[in-house]
Amino acid sequence: QVQLVQSGAEVKKPGASVKVSCKASGYTFTGYYMHWVRQAPGQGLEWMGRITPSSGDTNYAQKFLGRVTMTRDTSIRTAYMELSRLRSDDTAVYYCAAEYNWFDPWGQGTLVTVSS
């Protein structure tokens, strides 16, 4: 079936980087934008950016410019989101979401905890 499976939870120290993966199945990976969205504990949704899997082109939210890098490996149908120079307020659940079926599916979410 159509699904996105994300990598597992991460604990990082301030200043470090984290790379979250999102493996797609059940649809044409290169045919649809892949978005990354995060949600801090008890807070709202925040769009981070998107990647065009066929070309690797990216669009990032202004807030994350210079700190986020979205990439993909089409051979294994996987998208990646790397966030650098982590701060405590980057603690959040990070989701990938494909624009395949009007923003469906979403991954299960990856909790990234930033703590010293």
Partner 1 sequence: QAVVTQETSLTVSPGGTVTLTCGSSTGAVTSGHYPYWFQQKPGQAPRTLIYDASNKHSWTPARFSGSLLGGKAALTLSGAQPEDEAEYYCFLFYSGVWVFGGGTTLTVL
Spatial strand order in the sheet of 3-6: 3-6, 18-25, 78-83, 68-73
* CA pair distance 86, 22, nearest whole angstrom: 20
Verify binding: residue 3, partner 1, rule CB under 8 A: no
Identity of the residue, 71 or 111, whose beta carbon is nearer to partner 1 in the bound complex: 111
Instruction: Return the residue matching tokens 């801090």.
Output: 40
Residues 27-46 that bind partner 1 (CB under 8 A): 35, 37, 44-46
CA-based nearest residue to 70, from 2, 22, 109:
22
According to CB under 8 A, which one of 54, 108, 111, 113 is a site residue for partner 1? Answer: 108
Q: Which of 55, 62, 75, 116 binds partner 1 (CB under 8 A)?
A: 62
Binding span for partner 1 by CB under 8 A among 13-21, 22-30, 73-81, 101-109: 101-109
Instruction: State in angstroms the smallest separation of the CB of 50 from partner 1.
Output: 7
- Say how many CA atoms lie within 13 Å of 29 toward its Cβ: 19
Structure tokens at 64: 């994350």
Q: Which residues bind partner 1 (CB under 8 A)?
A: 35, 37, 44-47, 49-50, 59-63, 95, 97, 101-104, 106-109
